[in-house]
Structure 1
């Protein structure tokens, strides 16, 4: 089951199991009972008795997690309705996404969380209320948490705060907070095993969890070990993902083809040629007399779209991911009111991404790097069939492009090994002050995320130049073997040995943290206790990225990437107050005001203060109203501040290639683009880098909500209990840290010729873009607002069992992004762009039927329709031209999940068997024509052909 719960839902579930009375009455009784244990709920540092606080919190308990059929915390959270587009193991990142502009790398193999579509960097991830270290997948210094570094085996519950909380927790908590609460102790040994796969027979998944614990008067402990292995699914095994763009054949395939493509001018005849060697060529008999005729009698033919290479079959729909972890938690009671704890975790992730064999693009028509752009294929190269130099730059330039896809070298494989270490220790207890208990805790934590990536299947561009160049230069290098790129299968193993290295990159993130916290009651007011929480926190972030020496020197056959290293310190003070205003009056059973403020002092930019005001108004046992206003901020991270100039391969459509109107034609001519220019390669290297002058992002958030528990639905023939909640949210973010979207920047440059967009974009004499520079800056703003609706209904027990229904819906009313010049960006409600979409409606409806030892769960996950631009695919039938020409509609989608479980205490101390199917009806995701890979959006939908079954057994001893 994948439906999310609010805190109220969690309380209802707990009450159901205990056969407790109605929730609000229970809370009122708890408030009156002095012996009730106070708890800390995510969104406030004040220990309190109320389960339902001033901010909306969803709680995903262990029972919910087990019924999801999923094995990753990230996958579980990505299915709640408030979740936006985030990285997961369905993204085949490395080799296709290059180096993104924020210096964080591509996070290959990671799974992250996005709330309210504001981005993973604007969500704070805590474990037991303490920050977790950011990921480093060996391609940069990441600024987000990889949830695959936290094993499910240690999780008791997950609390998701969908409100700004910077005044409570500091930076990053703009869109919300995910707080993962770990298991503290267990008096039994527990074992769980799960196996599953797709009904097409691939994507096998298995995991094992073992945990045990114990306790006595002074000591309690918990130990957990887990192993999870997810196997790959090849793109070639699904019709949808077996083509570069669905329904277009190889029209959008690569121009770097296995046989080689050569665009040049014959210096003897002046003929402009675009040739491809015929299959099986060993001794081409090039005849210059043929000129530029395509009616050829030699060993070549003229390039057509039918020659394009289908790179899609080498991609992965699901990337392999193996995780192993060991966790321990110890608690010692040092005195009646003081305890000491120690927590430690080691987690290792091994993952793989794969891309098609790496192409060579030689010549300035498709610029890649210095060596490839300045190659001469010498006339005395023993494999040059033309008898003259093919010169890419300088005097005698005649080569525009030589594109070759060397299948002989195999697919590119990117293998990541990521180690996460975490240790935390501290003391907690309480003391009496003025007759009131004051709770305190002191904490220290150190964590590191260390990654290495080995890249197999890439090439050394300098050695390519030597092996293709004058024979004397090759012979001067004892290792050099002249290279033959003319014809498929022409590259021998000796040639590969010279030009194909193993590229090894590494990165590391470290976090050191110290904190002291106090919470308790200051005094008793007429309406209740005046409570507070306050404390100090100090953090030090250190990160580094070390690309392979070939990459640093520019010899890597791709975009140059330089090392990154940096650190920053922050010291923070915070204070939070809970002020009771009314109690047991005609206006309110309880009315509370919360105030919070936090001051953060960063070594990189100075001080920042944030505040929050919240109101909780319990009108009656049936009705609770709440609201909040909060300020937020996100400090620029190490990658954004210190990231050295690096590049990423963006898939960009050049408006000057087949311009759509006379105005664009004229502007392109002004930019120096020839009238007959055709873009040879949609992948353009974009150079970006960090900016040490970045200021923090700032935000203002609003939240208003109500929880209604009608008395008329309590202990009735049709209803045991019903709870309805609605919540309105709004986030206003200013100074967003990002580089302007590359496609948008290029479009605006061509449309306006404005230097604000054209600076940093340069073209060569062929019209091709040979330099595209943009750096990070604080640009524009993001505004979003919407509603959450939550209905929880428990029906009376009957002969067939007891049925509960949980329905949660998120409606996104507005999402607007403006750049620094006030220009609207394409990301908005109902639009699919850049491999992500913002559905107007997302809804999860779950029904659970319990009967004696049996339980059946059924969940429906709904996503409303989206619209995308078809781009260059507009002329194909697959572009449905709906709602207007050139646009494709991604229809609304509903996925169904089911699980049947049986529990008995007659075997071992307890045994549970569960059989489940996710995507019961094999629903296909809508076709996405603009998505980078595999023909669908993996951040929004289940993957094609994804009916997945699993069997899980767990028992206690």
Structure 2
């Protein structure tokens, strides 16, 4: 881990006078103009360790600024006094976190313009049920953004679980950093720097509610600290809760909508409570309402779209969650140059999600409703005979009598880090040794599902016994302990009673542990004319294990094949799988000052770093970086970095058990006329084939299927930028960085159905993952983790910051940060011209997420005496759904090719204000998020179930909040 200088050295900084002078001037300019703006870049001088509950600090005084300590900035292992280096780092401090009013760190960090794509958050319907928030820098996925706490790996990558009241600042490095931090830091790093010392007590409580009267939140936090000469102790606790918001509570999400033949239509599921049955002549019928008991064919009418089932009211726009965190940090000086420390964090998160009652698709679910079922009025088989593989007529229904399905999640996250650190006498050298232990346990109760094995028996052959009792099986072979079910009339009281006996509530568990030991040191090697050469080096050993489990007996009934461990109807349980791996690493970084105080070379520094990693499963690799910092004049910094990036398959990609589900996707074989037999097995070639259900059954798994050797991904990252802080405009800072990332052998964690179908259809790859029934309908598609092609991303980041202090109107701070996405391309089959490259920049890509060309974040802060206020504007640029390029195979209209649906630019306004009652040590704050109550744009069938992009836009609407903070 990077070593921060918490033990102050008496070694004088005289050999770094030129650099310190620059840092001093920056510090004085900022202190004169007020606090830094939200997301200010490379301008905030790190705060000194000692703080009090009333934020007293002498850091801004000139006489103190001369004694600035060297610190490590995220992206480097070298301790320096410079706050502007070759690393493009954004900083968010504790005051900015408080001013934002955001209930969780996920809500705050996911606003960054450098965030794109599909980063998990609690507003993802049917996908954010654990309450987790992740970060996807550059849209490359959360698995390529490394999460750190004080430079150490976070065991559970849910930034909502990090206690906000313990944070000193957040540093966001938007550059590849595999040479510094190892695997996973391809897109960058988010480093949460916690308070080292705190003196006093702070209590805070807030409440929020949407303008619709829902989505209530309640937060409470307590922080207490004691800092003495030899020891310090900080204790904190937080409790957060947020209520659910249902999709039916907003007009835009009450129904799932689609754009078809230029018209907006309501979609619904063919799995309806009255059933959708394919009769003997191939037409579809559904049961009339109010029919009691045993049905006849006369009780059915032709099925139309009006009979489809609206499942939207059961989805959630906001996941209900409750989170409690306990944190403790302590230090104890063993001697003049040695200090022991202990960091402990524990979080318990309870969350839940709700979805519609269990759907039944006889063919997709691979079960048979027998023609000899006593209640079958049609006299034909429905579904699939799993023994012979023969498929028969379709039968779809929905078991509304069982009630909704819901998932109750409990997540327990513990991270403990004991360590010892110190310095070698009066030298510049410091060392650190620590042990980082993390333990995560997640338990999910899946309620309202169906025992698949018992259900299959109950809808199989049945007969009326001599005793007048309907019995499972045949007269020659009756089945004991089985009650026949009249699946043709699920609302009949006898059917409801029989179905309720088959309800199962399986429990799945996820256990993860991490053990990491790290030893490192850094300091000055020798002097050059331009200054000392610095070196940082260290060794790390990490071991990770993961186990997925289930209490459902059926999970072990089928031990091989694509259905391994599945039970119930598709998605109600998972398989048992466990494994682990270890990695040994050695790393070094050196900073070489080449020139200083020369014409056109106020400073010229070279930074070189390298890391060797040896994985027990993925082999060994060495990744290096080289960075150059050039100040032609004092006010201007030009910087450039070239890095090798690397990511080994993570523990979840290697050892996640099989789980079932259903995803919306269009069968590539709709209207098939021949020519692709592997992709369209059993599909008729006369063009008549149509997909029946808009959702396709899937089997996701981190385990790799036979024939697919999962390898590490690797590539290169480049950054070229400048920082300009003109001395003639006090408080002004400008920066711009052009970046580019190229990734090979991209690891795709859980492919999507569309990609698999296209790969098979166009290039005969991944065809074994598609499983079709005898009538051509897709039974399910396996979604494994595989290496798939190359990824390119490129763009430009820029920041403008201006601080102004006036005599009569207070202090103002303006910050404008933006990201321009120049390129985001994915080539799943390099060298194969039959598979087109997917171009995502400026569009919404169904697989990878939304990539507007422009994103921005502007903040205006003002303070005068006891008053302060903030105005934040978040800009999401224009984008589009669909592509006019027919080779992309992506149309906004599900019936017409090449249709483009434009999405206009969005601007969200958040405002807040505070007043400090100094006499009572109390600050009251109020705020409004989404001031103009903007409704998210409509994506129709290409969005999530909420018809929009829940990863990018605000789903809740105008939101009011207030907070009281007491410090003493």
Shorter-chain TM range is: 0.7 to 0.9
Q: 2:125 aligns with which of 85, 92, 111?
A: 92
Q: More deviation in 518-527 or 243-252? A: 243-252
Find the aligned partners of 1:3 and 1:402 in 2 and give their Cα distance. Answer: 60
Give the drift of 1:170: 0.7
Q: Could you say which residue in structure 2 is the equivalent of 1:701?
A: 717
1:612 aligns with 2:621: no
Partner SS, residue 786 of structure 1? strand
Q: More deviation in 54-63 or 388-397? A: 388-397
Q: Could you say which residue in structure 2 is the equivalent of 1:729?
A: 739
Q: Could you say which residue in structure 2 is the equivalent of 1:924?
A: 935
Q: Could you say which residue in structure 2 is the equivalent of 1:409?
A: 402
Q: CA RMSD in A?
A: 3.1
Q: 2:140 aligns with which of 118, 126, 130?
A: 118
Find the aligned partners of 1:790 and 1:726 in 2 and give their Cα distance. Answer: 6
Q: 2:412 aligns with which of 411, 419, 444?
A: 419
Find the aligned partners of 2:337 and 2:802 in 1 and give their Cα distance. Answer: 41
Q: Could you say which residue in structure 1 is the equivalent of 2:32?
A: none
Find the aligned partners of 1:67 and 1:731 in 2 and give their Cα distance. Answer: 34
Q: 2:104 aligns with which of 64, 72, 97?
A: 72
Q: Could you say which residue in structure 2 is the equivalent of 1:436?
A: 427
Q: Is the 8 A contact 1:379 1:386 kept in 2?
A: no
1:605-684 equivalences in 2 (<5 Å) = 605-643=618-656, 647-658=660-671, 672-673=684-685, 675-684=687-696
Q: Is the 8 A contact 2:37 2:814 kept in 1?
A: no
Q: Could you say which residue in structure 1 is the equivalent of 2:441?
A: 450
Say if 1:817 and 1:501 are closer, same or farther in 2 by CA, change over 3 A.
same
Q: 2:815 aligns with which of 770, 788, 806?
A: 806
Q: Could you say which residue in structure 1 is the equivalent of 2:888?
A: none
Say if 1:233 and 1:586 are closer, same or farther in 2 by CA, change over 3 A.
same
Give the drift of 1:485: 2.6
Give the drift of 1:902: 0.8
Q: 1:783 aligns with which of 777, 786, 792?
A: 792
Deviations 1:886-934 (A, max 9, x none): 2211211111000011112111xx2111100010000111111201310
Q: Could you say which residue in structure 1 is the equivalent of 2:803?
A: 794
Q: 1:506 aligns with which of 506, 509, 516?
A: 509
1:587 aligns with 2:600: yes
Say if 1:748 and 1:166 are closer, same or farther in 2 by CA, change over 3 A.
closer
Deviations 1:196-221 (A, max 9, x none): 01110000011000010102221110
Say if 1:831 and 1:335 are closer, same or farther in 2 by CA, change over 3 A.
same
Q: 2:615 aligns with which of 602, 607, 617?
A: 602
Give the drift of 1:332: 0.5
Find the aligned partners of 1:742 and 1:221 in 2 and give their Cα distance. Answer: 52
Q: Is the 8 A contact 1:186 1:222 kept in 2?
A: yes
Say if 1:787 and 1:756 are closer, same or farther in 2 by CA, change over 3 A.
same
Runs of 5+ in structure 1 lacking a partner?
Answer: 95-105, 135-144, 266-270, 288-297, 715-720, 872-877
Q: Is the 8 A contact 2:637 2:722 kept in 1?
A: yes
Find the aligned partners of 1:327 and 1:128 in 2 and give their Cα distance. Answer: 14
Give the drift of 1:709: 1.2
Q: More deviation in 738-747 or 774-783? A: 738-747
Q: More deviation in 188-197 or 765-774? A: 765-774
Say if 1:398 and 1:574 are closer, same or farther in 2 by CA, change over 3 A.
closer
Q: Could you say which residue in structure 2 is the equivalent of 1:334?
A: 334
Find the aligned partners of 1:707 and 1:55 in 2 and give their Cα distance. Answer: 11
Q: Is the 8 A contact 2:293 2:492 kept in 1?
A: no
Q: More deviation in 691-700 or 633-642? A: 691-700
Q: Is the 8 A contact 1:2 1:79 kept in 2?
A: no
Partner SS, residue 713 of structure 1? coil
Q: Could you say which residue in structure 2 is the equivalent of 1:293?
A: none
Say if 1:483 and 1:713 are closer, same or farther in 2 by CA, change over 3 A.
same
Q: Is the 8 A contact 2:596 2:602 kept in 1?
A: yes
1:717-796 equivalences in 2 (<5 Å) = 721-738=731-748, 741-750=752-761, 752=762, 754-756=763-765, 758-770=767-779, 772-773=781-782, 775-796=784-805
Say if 1:65 and 1:396 are closer, same or farther in 2 by CA, change over 3 A.
closer
Say if 1:3 and 1:674 are closer, same or farther in 2 by CA, change over 3 A.
farther
Q: Is the 8 A contact 1:377 1:391 kept in 2?
A: no
Find the aligned partners of 1:455 and 1:881 in 2 and give their Cα distance. Answer: 33
Find the aligned partners of 1:488 and 1:853 in 2 and give their Cα distance. Answer: 66
Give the drift of 1:868: 1.2
Q: Is the 8 A contact 1:600 1:608 kept in 2?
A: yes
TM-score where L is the length of structure 2: 0.86
Partner SS, residue 465 of structure 1? helix
1:55 aligns with 2:87: yes
1:937 aligns with 2:949: yes
Q: Is the 8 A contact 2:587 2:610 kept in 1?
A: yes
Q: Could you say which residue in structure 1 is the equivalent of 2:302?
A: 302
1:269-288 equivalences in 2 (<5 Å) = 271-283=281-293, 286=296
Q: Is the 8 A contact 1:648 1:685 kept in 2?
A: yes
Find the aligned partners of 2:182 and 2:461 in 1 and give their Cα distance. Answer: 60
Q: Is the 8 A contact 2:42 2:83 kept in 1?
A: yes
1:311-350 equivalences in 2 (<5 Å) = 311-350=311-350
Find the aligned partners of 1:199 and 1:456 in 2 and give their Cα distance. Answer: 32
Say if 1:391 and 1:512 are closer, same or farther in 2 by CA, change over 3 A.
closer
Q: Could you say which residue in structure 2 is the equivalent of 1:841?
A: 854
Q: Is the 8 A contact 2:411 2:441 kept in 1?
A: yes
Q: Could you say which residue in structure 1 is the equivalent of 2:863?
A: 850
Q: Could you say which residue in structure 2 is the equivalent of 1:147?
A: 159
Find the aligned partners of 2:432 and 2:47 in 1 and give their Cα distance. Answer: 30
Say if 1:323 and 1:828 are closer, same or farther in 2 by CA, change over 3 A.
same
Q: More deviation in 650-659 or 500-509? A: 650-659
Find the aligned partners of 2:895 and 2:496 in 1 and give their Cα distance. Answer: 51
Give the drift of 1:884: 9.1
Find the aligned partners of 1:894 and 1:238 in 2 and give their Cα distance. Answer: 20
Partner SS, residue 96 of structure 2? helix
Deviations 1:663-692 (A, max 9, x none): 899996995455422211122234454238
Say if 1:900 and 1:419 are closer, same or farther in 2 by CA, change over 3 A.
same
Partner SS, residue 512 of structure 1? strand
Find the aligned partners of 1:528 and 1:632 in 2 and give their Cα distance. Answer: 30
1:948 aligns with 2:933: no
Find the aligned partners of 1:21 and 1:639 in 2 and give their Cα distance. Answer: 46
Say if 1:107 and 1:444 are closer, same or farther in 2 by CA, change over 3 A.
farther
Say if 1:152 and 1:493 are closer, same or farther in 2 by CA, change over 3 A.
farther
Find the aligned partners of 1:785 and 1:401 in 2 and give their Cα distance. Answer: 48
Q: Is the 8 A contact 1:240 1:246 kept in 2?
A: no
Paired positions, count = 885
Q: Is the 8 A contact 1:360 1:405 kept in 2?
A: yes
Partner SS, residue 44 of structure 2? helix
Q: Is the 8 A contact 1:2 1:76 kept in 2?
A: no
Q: Could you say which residue in structure 2 is the equivalent of 1:465?
A: 456
Say if 1:903 and 1:285 are closer, same or farther in 2 by CA, change over 3 A.
closer
Find the aligned partners of 2:590 and 2:883 in 1 and give their Cα distance. Answer: 53
Q: Is the 8 A contact 1:379 1:389 kept in 2?
A: no
TM-score where L is the length of structure 1: 0.87
1:219 aligns with 2:238: no
Q: Is the 8 A contact 2:444 2:507 kept in 1?
A: yes
Say if 1:778 and 1:850 are closer, same or farther in 2 by CA, change over 3 A.
same
Q: Is the 8 A contact 1:250 1:305 kept in 2?
A: no
Say if 1:2 and 1:889 are closer, same or farther in 2 by CA, change over 3 A.
farther
Find the aligned partners of 1:665 and 1:470 in 2 and give their Cα distance. Answer: 35
Find the aligned partners of 2:807 and 2:953 in 1 and give their Cα distance. Answer: 37
Partner SS, residue 711 of structure 1? coil
Partner SS, residue 598 of structure 2? coil
1:193 aligns with 2:205: yes
